[in-house]
């Protein structure tokens, strides 16, 4: 059910809710399409008219600056009209149900919802309930999934490492509560990474974590051996008050990434973080701002990846050039070219 929910009758992306249920070719198509959009942001006119006349609603039931901004930028670069709704402070606080909020917005003839919600499964629920012409993009639901973050990270990794098959990736920190981690693990496994290793104390690991397709390590120094990609996760302050960890300083001592510890990983290892970072808690500033860090690259890639997913879900994405891994710019198109691409299927 979840598997099919994301695809239309032709097997094309309709909703983007989680990485689960999407195969390697579809994930590669997202990356290739993103590649073709990567140039748009660098053009003088940062716009392509693929979603002209479409209305996209950013439905944020939970606060976020970075994710909402990149979604907004992505939508405007595709020429869509964007409405930002910060539901955390509006309708639901007046007692309106999730479903009523959706029904109301639907009747304003919108075409896409970008949803962030504090509960796992919220985006699935909206995709199931909403009118058939509307696409839903999950911008993070509870502890479940954050698929666009995972895809922009895959995009960043592919830019630098070219290929996934020989990669050993370590994900470090609060796996238990992290929707980012769940999506990263699924994406890396689907794209064929050699190993995904999670490094955390037991209190921050979900039960049967191995069943997600990872190896497990409780010690950062041991865990970083042979690692090509180091993914740090944000540590929420609440974890201390709920007795999951003793203190920030002890966490930093055990699991904080320092220059010294990074040396244990492969010399060309890259350091990633979905942001916002807690300097001195999970990562030392010298590493966050150091030469191996690609944290800001992740942020700028966020726009292209989100443009790709939005265009694909609305069935207007240009057909990307195949195998962009070998030639990064092969698929990238100037704005004027995209304009002429026959992408009218979706009713543009």
Partner 1 sequence: MKIRIDHGRIIDPANKIDRVGSVYIARGKIVSVSDEPAGFQADTVINAENQIVCPGFIDLSTRLRDMGHSRKATFKSEVRAAASAGVTTLCLQPDTVPAVDTPAMVELIKELAEKAGYPQIYAIGALTQKLEGAELSSMLSLKQAGCIAVGNANHPVKNLLILRRAMEYAASHDLLLMFRSNDFWLSNNGCAHEGAFASRYGLPSIPEAAETVALSQCLELAELTGCRVHFGQLSSKRSVIKIQQAKKYGLKVSADVAIHQLHLTEDDMVPFDSAYHVLPPFRTEQDKQYLRRGLAGSTINSICSDHQPHDLDAKLGAFPETEPGISSLETLLPLMLKLVEQQAITLEQGIACLSANPSRVLQMHSGALTPGFAADVCVFDPDIEWEVNAKNWLSQGVNTPFWGQTLKGRVTHTLQSGKIIYRL
Instruction: Please state the closest distance from residue 47 (CB atom) to partner 1, in A.
Output: 35
Residue located via tokens 């709920």: 242
In 3-state terms, what secondary structure has residue 286? helix
120 or 215: CB nearest partner 1: 120
Nearest to 64 by CA among 149, 127, 128, 182: 149
77 or 124: CB nearest partner 1: 124
- Where on the chain is the footprint of partner 1 (CB under 8 A)? 1-2, 20, 97-99, 117, 119-122, 124-125, 129, 141-145, 179, 182, 206-209, 211-212
In 3-state terms, what secondary structure has residue 81? strand
Q: Is 66 a catalytic residue?
A: yes
Q: Is 67 a catalytic residue?
A: yes
Cα(289)–Cα(291) distance, integer angstroms = 7
Out of 146, 158, 177, 239, the active site residue is: 146
Q: Is 144 a catalytic residue?
A: no
Out of 15, 68, 77, 116, the active site residue is: 116
Both structure tokens of 120 = 């796992």
90 or 221: CB nearest partner 1: 90
208 or 237: CB nearest partner 1: 208
Cα(58)–Cα(113) distance, integer angstroms = 6
Cα(312)–Cα(151) distance, integer angstroms = 14
Instruction: Please state the closest distance from residue 153 (CB atom) to partner 1, in A.
Output: 17
Cα(16)–Cα(9) distance, integer angstroms = 15
Cα distances (angstroms) measured from residue 285 to each of 237, 290, 293: 18, 8, 10
140 or 223: CB nearest partner 1: 140
Cα distances (angstroms) measured from residue 157 to each of 63, 138, 228: 27, 21, 10
Burial 170-199 (b: 16+ CB within 10 A, else e): bbbbbbbbbbbbbbbbbbbbbbebebbbbb
Angle, in degrees to the nearest 10, between helices 295-313 and 66-77: 50
61 or 252: CB nearest partner 1: 61
Cα(13)–Cα(311) distance, integer angstroms = 10
Instruction: Please state the closest distance from residue 191 (CB atom) to partner 1, in A.
Output: 18
Instruction: Please state the closest distance from residue 53 (CB atom) to partner 1, in A.
Output: 31
Q: Is 197 a catalytic residue?
A: no
Cα(141)–Cα(124) distance, integer angstroms = 9
Element (H, E) at 55: strand 55-60
Out of 94, 208, 237, 340, the active site residue is: 94
Using only C-alpha atoms, what is the Rg of the chain? 20
Instruction: Please state the closest distance from residue 210 (CB atom) to partner 1, in A.
Output: 9
Instruction: Please state the closest distance from residue 182 (CB atom) to partner 1, in A.
Output: 6
Out of 28, 67, 101, 156, the active site residue is: 67
Instruction: Please state the closest distance from residue 97 (CB atom) to partner 1, in A.
Output: 7
Both structure tokens of 92 = 């639901």
Question: Residues, the chain, total?
Answer: 348
Out of 47, 66, 218, 266, the active site residue is: 66
Both structure tokens of 208 = 């049967």
Q: Is 146 a catalytic residue?
A: yes
Catalytic residues: 66-67, 94, 116, 146
């Amino acid at each position: 059910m979840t598997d099919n929910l994301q695809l239309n009758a032709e097997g094309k992306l309709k909703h983007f809710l989680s990485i689960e249920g999407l195969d390697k070719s579809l994930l590669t198509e997202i990356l290739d399409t993103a590649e073709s959009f990567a140039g748009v942001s660098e053009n003088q006119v940062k716009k392509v008219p693929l979603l002209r006349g479409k209305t996209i609603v950013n439905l944020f039931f939970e606060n976020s600056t970075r994710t909402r901004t990149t979604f907004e930028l992505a939508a405007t670069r595709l020429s869509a009209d964007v409405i930002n709704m910060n539901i955390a402070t509006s309708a639901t606080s007046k007692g309106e149900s999730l479903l009523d909020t959706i029904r109301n917005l639907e009747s304003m003839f919108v075409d896409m919802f970008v949803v962030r919600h504090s509960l796992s499964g919220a985006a699935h629920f909206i995709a199931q309930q909403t009118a058939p012409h509307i696409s839903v993009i999950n911008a993070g639901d509870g502890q479940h999934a954050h698929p666009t973050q995972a895809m922009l990270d895959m995009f960043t990794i592919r830019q630098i490492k070219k290929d996934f098959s020989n990669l050993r990736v370590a994900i470090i920190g609060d796996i238990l509560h992290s929707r980012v981690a769940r999506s990263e693990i699924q994406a890396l496994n689907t794209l064929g990474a050699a190993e995904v290793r999670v490094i955390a104390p037991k209190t921050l690991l979900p039960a049967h974590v191995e069943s997600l397709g990872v190896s497990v390590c409780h010690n950062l120094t041991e865990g970083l051996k042979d690692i090509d990609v180091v993914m740090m996760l944000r540590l929420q302050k609440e974890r201390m008050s709920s007795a999951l960890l003793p203190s920030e300083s002890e966490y930093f001592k055990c699991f904080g990434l320092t220059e010294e510890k990074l040396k244990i990983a492969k010399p060309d290892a890259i350091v990633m973080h979905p942001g916002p970072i807690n300097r001195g808690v999970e990562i030392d500033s010298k590493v966050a701002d150091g030469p191996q860090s690609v944290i800001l690259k992740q942020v700028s890639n966020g726009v292209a990846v989100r443009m790709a997913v939005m265009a694909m879900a609305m069935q207007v994405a240009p057909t990307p050039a195949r195998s962009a891994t070998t030639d990064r710019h092969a698929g990238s198109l100037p704005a004027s070219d995209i304009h002429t691409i026959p992408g009218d299927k979706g009713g543009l």
